[in-house]
């Protein structure tokens, strides 16, 4: 080999090592590509000096107008906001932000700067739409953190309370900060107010099956007879199952039991490092498959009504495509209900800011070290999607105002997080979220079978929520045009949790809209033309379920083959 060839090979090797080192450093210091995108935006403005000059000129002129208005305000003019808070922004709701010229100027300067920075970012030439969204997300986190009311000296409400309580509120805030540092999380509710099995998850029942991945809970009937075809609820394993069985007044489980159904629920094990190699296949073959067998054996019915919530609904959809190919003539499911369920991940909502090669590599690196993704890491990501209401609101109330945490069952459940096994979560994020293989016929293989949603023929009742930022309703409903089944689409008010945990209560302000889908129908347009139905969608769903639930039989809690292994809520939910 010639000297030039050796030198060329040496340079090539060094370049490859430099790329690897750069990649490793990026994973450490900029795992989600924020700095890289920021540099690209700066370079884009530098390459367009005339556009930059125009933008800075508008900034100067708008700033001059704001300064003049604030001077007139100090001179005694009435308050007129040149930059108004967004209608859903509660940060400046205290009247002092309008009544006091000083605090009004603090608010106006903050809103002016944040509005200009965000508008300028979106106007950056040369950025892709994905880069704009990602950059806007991280800029929003930074600007939200810098809001004046997140600091004691910039929060007039906290200052006034500190003075009127002679500093007691600050001492209370300090105690709350020390408490939350020990816990490693900002308290969203009074954690001491709830105990699972005592005032949460209290519907009577028994664990009738247990393996390494799940416990199956069967609930005690309280009607003389029940429908023979049971309801099998596949809960999300991102959180614990008892969102479906909160307090008696909010329990979907109790409501279904009261309506004369035999109800089974998954209680997934909270995985640790020993379960690192548990995959999505296992959740199907060791989770949903044996659970249906248990329900069939105890009830004596050949079919069940299968219900999935969130990622549990994604698993139900995968199972239905899988089982219809494996044994279409003997599918043990008479109906399917999907609650806020994504199957098409092309537009997965706000969470997409974390879903790119850099972000996924960073998550993979964490899971490789631990064998799992800690639930607190995932919860922090979801809280960042609504940082003002889910982070900074509690920062202010806990630490600056020293207020005691209120007792709220849904927030307690939200903080009772679970872990994700490395292999399963890698597949879920890479194959579903990133590559979106679930919508491609046979684009994804599970347990030896290609997944094709078009093979699903069983009737489907789909529910989504208008304000859901985790599973946007327009995206969840795209499944309706991919299956070969009759579909009833129901759109509830509120968000990902409250839109589903939506019991019938007198004088409820909630409502829902519904369509029975015709193929190739424009779903958003058709839904917008439907008149809202006042109240909860639960009674409508129950009447739909009765048509697939068979004759009335005498209930039984367990059987010789699947005996009572202990009272609900079982043991896995306490881990």
Catalytic center residues: 310
**Residue 234 backbone phi and psi in degrees, to 5:** -100, 105
User: What does each C-alpha distance from 551 to 54, 176, 227, 230, 483 come to in angstroms?
Assistant: 74, 55, 6, 11, 28
Total Cβ atoms within 10 A of residue 503: 18
Cα–Cα distance for residue pair 134/124, rounded to 1 Å? 13
Angle, in degrees to the nearest 10, between helices 101-122 and 49-74: 170
CA-nearest of 159, 163, 119 to 143 is: 119
The residues, any chain, with a CB within 8 Å of residue 222's CB and separated by 6 or more, are 257, 258
CA-nearest of 89, 60, 119 to 392 is: 89
Helix (H) / strand (E) element for 162: namely helix 156-164
Strand locations in 187-301 (E): 205-210, 214-219, 226-227, 231-234, 263-268
Residue identified by tokens 């494996």 is: 326
CA-nearest of 456, 461, 459 to 491 is: 461
CA-nearest of 3, 32, 14, 46 to 363 is: 32
Q: Both tokens of residue 276?
A: 């690192």
CA-nearest of 567, 17, 541 to 261 is: 541
215 - beta bridge partners?
210, 267
Asked whether the beta carbons of 280 and 248 are under 8 A apart, the reply is no
Measured CA angle at 151 (ends 147, 157), to 5 deg = 95
Cα–Cα distance for residue pair 293/297, rounded to 1 Å? 6
Cα–Cα distance for residue pair 147/155, rounded to 1 Å? 9
The residues, any chain, with a CB within 8 Å of residue 155's CB and separated by 6 or more, are 148, 149, 396, 400
Total Cβ atoms within 10 A of residue 303: 22
Three-state SS at 420: strand
Cα–Cα distance for residue pair 299/302, rounded to 1 Å? 9
Cα–Cα distance for residue pair 245/113, rounded to 1 Å? 45
Cα–Cα distance for residue pair 208/561, rounded to 1 Å? 9
Helix (H) / strand (E) element for 552: namely strand 552-553
């Amino acid at each position: 080999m010639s000297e030039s060839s050796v030198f060329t090979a040496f340079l090539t090797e060094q370049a490859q090592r430099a790329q690897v080192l750069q990649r490793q450093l990026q994973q450490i210091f900029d795992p989600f590509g924020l700095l890289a995108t920021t540099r690209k935006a700066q370079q884009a403005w530098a390459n367009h000096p005339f556009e930059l000059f125009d933008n800075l000129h508008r900034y100067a002129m708008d700033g001059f107008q704001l300064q003049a208005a604030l001077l007139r305000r100090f001179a005694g003019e009435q308050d007129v906001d040149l930059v108004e808070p967004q209608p859903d922004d509660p940060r400046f709701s205290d009247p002092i932000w309008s009544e006091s010229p000083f605090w009004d100027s603090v608010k106006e300067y903050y809103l002016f700067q944040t509005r200009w920075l965000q508008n300028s970012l979106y106007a950056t030439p040369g950025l892709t739409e994905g880069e704009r969204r990602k950059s806007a997300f991280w800029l929003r986190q930074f600007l939200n953190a810098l809001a004046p009311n997140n600091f004691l000296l910039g929060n007039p409400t906290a200052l006034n309370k500190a003075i009127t309580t002679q500093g007691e509120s600050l001492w209370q805030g300090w105690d709350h900060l020390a408490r939350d540092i020990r816990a490693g999380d900002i308290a969203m509710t009074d954690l001491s107010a709830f105990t699972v099995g005592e005032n949460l998850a209290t519907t009577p029942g028994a664990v009738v099956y247990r393996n390494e991945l799940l416990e199956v809970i069967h609930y005690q009937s309280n009607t003389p007879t029940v429908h023979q075809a049971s309801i099998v609820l596949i809960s999300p394993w991102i959180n614990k199952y008892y969102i479906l069985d909160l307090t008696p007044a909010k329990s979907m489980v109790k409501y279904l039991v009261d309506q004369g159904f035999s109800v089974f629920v998954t209680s997934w094990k909270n995985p640790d490092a020993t379960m690192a190699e548990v995959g999505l296949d296992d959740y199907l073959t060791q989770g949903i498959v044996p659970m249906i067998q248990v329900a069939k054996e105890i009830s004596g019915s050949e079919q069940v009504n299968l219900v999935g919530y969130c990622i549990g609904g994604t698993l139900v959809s995968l199972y239905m495509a899988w089982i219809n190919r494996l044994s279409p003539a003997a599918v043990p499911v008479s109906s399917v209900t999907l609650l806020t369920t994504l199957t098409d991940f092309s537009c997965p909502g706000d969470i997409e800011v974390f879903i790119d090669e850099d972000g996924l590599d960073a998550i993979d690196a964490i899971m490789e070290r631990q064998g799992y993704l800690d639930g607190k890491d995932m919860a922090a990501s979801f809280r960042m999607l609504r940082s003002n209401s889910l982070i900074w609101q509690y920062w202010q109330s806990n630490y600056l105002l020293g207020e005691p945490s209120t007792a709220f069952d849904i927030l307690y459940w939200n903080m009772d997080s679970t872990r994700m096994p490395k292999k399963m979560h890698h597949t879920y994020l890479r194959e579903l979220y990133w590559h979106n293989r679930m919508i491609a016929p046979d684009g994804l293989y599970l347990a030896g079978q290609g997944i094709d949603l078009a093979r699903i023929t069983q009737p489907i009742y789909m529910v989504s929520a208008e304000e859901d930022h985790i599973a946007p309703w327009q995206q969840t409903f795209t499944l309706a045009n991919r299956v070969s089944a009759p579909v009833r689409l129901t759109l509830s008010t509120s968000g990902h949790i409250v839109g589903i945990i939506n019991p019938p209560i007198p004088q409820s302000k909630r409502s829902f809209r519904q369509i029975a889908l015709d193929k190739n129908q424009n779903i958003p347009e058709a839904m917008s033309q439907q008149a809202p139905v006042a109240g909860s969608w639960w009674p409508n769903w129950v009447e739909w379920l009765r048509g697939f639930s068979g004759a009335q039989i005498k209930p039984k809690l367990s059987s010789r083959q699947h005996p009572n292994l202990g009272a609900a809520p079982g043991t896995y939910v306490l881990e």
